[in-house]
Amino acid sequence: MSCRGVQKLLQGAGSGPAGWTRTPCCCRLRYGPCRARSGPGSGSGPGSGSGSMNVFNREMKRRQKNWAAVLQDGHQYDYLREEVGSRVADRVYDVARSFPLVLDLGGGKSYIAEHLSKEVVQRLVLTDVSQQALKLGRRSDIPTRSVVADEEFLPFRENSFHLVVSSLSLHWINDLPRVLSEIHRVLKPDGVFIGAMAGGDTLYELRCSLQLAQSEREGGFSPHVSPYTAVTDLGNLLGRARFNMLTVDVDDVQVHYPGIMELMTDLQGMGESNCAWNRRSMLHRDTMLAAAAVYKEMYGNPDGSVPATFQILYMIGWKPHESQAKPARRGSATVSFRDLAKVSRPDGADQS
Amino acid sequence: MSGSNVWSRSRERLRRFPELLAQCADEAAVYGKCVAATTTGKQELKKDVCAKEFEALKTCFTNAAKKKTR
């Protein structure tokens, strides 16, 4: 491969049994035993250690991103990343600080930096697996250095960044606990990680339509939409990576398309094609036709368009530092809960 | 890979999909309702549960495709 200068990695800290699984959750509709052909089980088996989770073909993902980056009219597919990038930048502004050195993980054509100013971010390091995306990236007035690097192998020294941001690239990671530990490692103490990834219910309409259509037409179904992390797992993951003061919130972005084919074309143009190992490379044309009909009927809007939901999970985590607030010591309370009633009755009418 | 090959030709054919489907909106709606009904009703979703409706949809679709071909 190219000389990316991958640094000697520290042994992953999370060597305990993985309590986190990625579920390609079957749609919660009653339709009896499904004989999945290359069933969703392969994507959700818990890894016995840090290194054995291999759900996605990272080489394929790099090729897909390279292909999407050099498309002639690729900018028309950027709407989702721009939206999420601007929301992540909002969260960066919420932190009342300026960051001398910032890392943008999986930034692609860089959708966050254009919303940030030089007062907040002094220098930016942009990484992505796709070299073409970095070459054709957008310019901003923040001095940027681009590094081709896989998110799972960050070639940076520990304690080097004040802020790490990541927008819509963590949902293609094989070993998410390890990546979060890596992010924790490269952050300076009292550094912050602000990330956005596609989660849980993303594209559930597409998944369910394909599932139903394929069950009816072919008698079984195989996963076509990649598995996502659930919201509930995210807090645990960040905690296990030893982040402090966690904030996780969910945003649903719903985009309306004329039909299922336009949706799939846009996903392909965004570089978000499926690259899981367990995907089937073929979609039978009968199934495509059936899925289009089912999608429109089950989820269609009155005006004929169909919605697609992108559930974006935003997370903020801090690397521990002495200056951060700690839970108070037991027994150090100065007021009692019994006084709570007095707070709500300011006239002192009733002393309980 | 440039010029006309099997992938670019099949992509071209696939690009006509939405407009052809638009001409068969009624059959598509009937098929969709049939499949949606299996998710809520007592009937379980098995292979070819809605085969009749799908045949109608597919015939309409192929006819539309034949008509538009030069």
Three-class SS of A129-184 = CCHHHHHCCCCCCCCEEEEECCCCCCCCCCCCEEEEEEECCHHHCCCHHHHHHHHH
Task: Write the pLDDT tens digit of every residue in A177-233.
Answer: 999 999 999 999 999 999 999 988 899 999 999 999 999 898 888 889 988 999 989
Higher-confidence residue of A21 and A46: namely A21
Q: Residue A94: what are its φ and ψ, rounded to 5°? A: -60, -30
* Lowest-confidence pick of A247-256, A291-300, A332-341: A332-341
CA distance A220 to A11: 41
Q: Do A290 and B54 touch (CB under 8 A)?
A: yes
Mean pLDDT of chain A: 82
CA distance A193 to A161: 10
State the pLDDT at residue A242: 92
DSSP for A105-130, please give it: ET-TT-SSGGG--TTTEEEEEEEES-
CATH second-level architecture of A58-200+228-255+308-322?
Answer: 3-Layer(aba) Sandwich (3.40)
Give the model's pLDDT for residue A3: 37
Give the ipTM of the model, two decimals please.
Answer: 0.90
Is B46 within 8 Å of A218 when comparing Cβ atoms?
no
> Per-domain residue ranges for chain A?
58-200+228-255+308-322
Mean pLDDT of B27-48: 84
- The predicted structure's pLDDT at residue A20: 66
Q: What percent of chain A has pLDDT over 90?
A: 51
Greater model confidence, B70 or B51: B51
Q: Which of A220, A76, A229, A96 is nearest to A163 (CA)?
A: A96
Cα–Cα dist A207/A26, whole Å: 8
Please state the pTM of the whole predicted model: 0.79
Residue from the list A219, A258, A298 with its beta carbon closest to the beta carbon of B32: A298
Q: Which of A22, A23, A24 is nearest to A222 (CA)?
A: A24
Relative orientation angle of helices A204-218 and B25-40, to the nearest 10 degrees: 90
Q: Tokens in use for A273?
A: 């094609």
Interface with A, mutate which of B14, B21, B42 (most A CBs under 10 A): B21
Q: Residue B56: list chain A partners with CB under 8 A.
A: none
C-beta atoms of B58 and A289 within 8 A: yes
Tell me which chain B residues have a C-beta less than 8 angstroms from the C-beta of A30. Answer: 39-40, 44
| Integer Cα distance of A316 and A323 in angstroms | 17
